Structure 1
Amino acid sequence: MAGAGDLLLLFDIDGTLMAGATAAHAAAVHQAICQVHSLSAVDRSLTRAIDPAGRTDPEISRAILLAHGVSAERIDARADDVRVATGEIYAQTCPADLSEFVLPGVPELLGALAARDDVRLSLVTGNYETVARVKLRAAGVGQWFASGQGGFGSDSEDRTDLPAVARARASHWEFHDGEPGTRIPGGNSRIDPHPRERTVVIGDTPRDVACALADDVRCIGVETGSFAAAELTAAGAHAVAADTAALAAAIDALV
């Protein structure tokens, strides 16, 4: 059972826990938007300028569709359809074994953290939740991230909303009932989101850092993606780790 004093660790997935496992994911997004919006194909010449690093799936989908001349109104109206279609397609096309894409030391780190009673593991990722769960399960690391927890691209197109979503859900680890800010049945106290001062976002892009800062929580940047320490520090990361061992040390320092 989690408590407000535990350190809530919100991990990004791509570039943080895994690297190079996005091909089937991107293909599922492309197929879904074509299916839902009746496009014959995604024009790669229009999408090359769209940087996906740190963006949410719906944000990426919107950028692709706008580049293809689809109106913002239609994108909004069919956003849930794209989310559902992407999840269904990815569940069918995700490789059965993605373990080769898990970054060195990640299983050991997650296992060690999960065994502690002063931290809790959760997610903040731009992936739709269905995609995230399938991807992590295929990678062999999904067991450390409880269902009903985390913040995902399916919760909001705006990544800066996701740490607050994850903190709200984390309160259910302790209370298991009600909604954040509502009265607990049989009592007068209220369920509050997990404290900001006991929450840390861990990610590899400046957008990961930005979403943490937007919710006024701390962020550990990791150099396991495509951004260097200087870029993560300039974005406002409170600490930067070069690898899994350094990340473990940075977490220990915060605990």
Structure 2
Amino acid sequence: MMHKLILWDIDGTLLYSGGVAGEAMRAAMTRVYGRPSDNERRAYAGKTDQQIILETFPDRSPEELLGRLDVFTATYLDILNEWAEAFRTRGRVLEGVVAVLQRLQAEGVVQSLLTGNLAPVARLKLNLMEIAGFFDFDSGAYGSDSPRRIDLAPIAAARAAQCYGRVFATTDIVVIGDTPNDIACARAAGARAVAIATGPFGVEELRAHAPDAVLPNLADTEAALAAILAD
């Protein structure tokens, strides 16, 4: 069994929601805060849901905005559940993902999540795409834990240590994502950074942020495993 903690980003890395998740988030913002974010997808990329809310309403206090986070979360979940069929129809698991998840599972590593999604939203998205079974949700870190993505890797490492009764060395933690923020998050924690160019950033854009490995996608299972599991 390999003593590695693999932390996956969701949107643009594991799956693409066909725009449904963004629409649901904007609808929830409108219901709870009075208007939606007008950011286009690239502006959302790699940010936590809390950060997006704070940036959307700079004229309001963080205390007021985050004081309603539970209401926002419940509203967002309700809308996503209402739109589940559209999510399944328009969304997809990205190429090569399932094969890589299966191989990592066979290696005995811990697979969890490091995502800007609020925790229950993360679980729902993966359930809707039928890949939730690969992940230990209790060892992950989410947009509900902090507005700052850079805070999330140490949170996940601490949770995994508690779940498994052993400390994961920073060199045994791998952060996989599709944005410069994912790379920065790994770097801040001393973890390995694997960038996948299946989101809004291309291979060269990601390479400029100096990840340990960058892949165009996860279609080549062997190349993906080599990038993720390299010591």
Q: Which residue of 1 aligns with 2:68?
A: 78
Does residue 97 of structure 2 align to residue 106 of structure 1?
Answer: yes
Spell out, residue by residue over 1:210-252, the C-alpha distance to the aligned partner (whole angstroms, 9 max, x if none): 1111112110111122212222222121111122123222124
Using the alignment, how far apart are the partners of 1:43 and 1:203 within structure 2? 23
Using the alignment, how far apart are the partners of 2:8 and 2:42 within structure 1? 23
Q: Which residue of 2 aligns with 1:57?
A: 49
Using the alignment, how far apart are the partners of 2:135 and 2:67 within structure 1? 31
Ranges of 4+ aligned residues in structure 1 off by more than 4 Å? none
Does residue 16 of structure 2 align to residue 26 of structure 1?
Answer: no
1:211 to 185, 193, 197: 185
2:4 to 2, 7, 11: 7
The CA deviation at 1:88 is 3.1
Conserved 8 A contact 1:209-1:235: yes
Conserved 8 A contact 1:151-1:162: yes
Using the alignment, how far apart are the partners of 2:203 and 2:229 within structure 1? 19
Using the alignment, how far apart are the partners of 1:50 and 1:109 within structure 2? 26
Using the alignment, how far apart are the partners of 1:135 and 1:23 within structure 2? 12
Structure number with the higher helix fraction is 2
The CA deviation at 1:32 is 2.3
The CA deviation at 1:24 is 2.5
Provide the secondary structure at the position in 2 that maps to 1:148. Answer: helix
Does residue 214 of structure 2 align to residue 225 of structure 1?
Answer: no
Q: What percent of counterpart residues are identical?
A: 34
Match for 2:7: what amino acid?
A: L
- CA RMSD in angstroms comes to 2.3
1:196 to 170, 191, 203: 170
Spell out, residue by residue over 1:118-171, the C-alpha distance to the aligned partner (whole angstroms, 9 max, x if none): x22111010111111111111121110123121110111110111111111111
Change beyond 3 A, Cα 1:98–1:159: farther
The CA deviation at 1:11 is 0.7
Using the alignment, how far apart are the partners of 2:48 and 2:187 within structure 1? 17
Q: Which runs of 5+ in 2 are unaligned?
A: none
Match for 2:188: what amino acid?
A: A
Conserved 8 A contact 1:7-1:199: yes
Using the alignment, how far apart are the partners of 1:204 and 1:102 within structure 2? 14
1:146 to 136, 140, 149: 136
TM-score by length of 2: 0.88
Provide the secondary structure at the position in 1 that maps to 2:199. Answer: coil
Q: Which residue of 1 aligns with 2:31?
A: 35
Provide the secondary structure at the position in 1 that maps to 2:139. Answer: coil
Provide the secondary structure at the position in 1 that maps to 2:154. Answer: helix
Does residue 230 of structure 2 align to residue 239 of structure 1?
Answer: no
Q: Which runs of 5+ in 1 are unaligned?
A: 176-191
1:249 to 223, 226, 231: 226
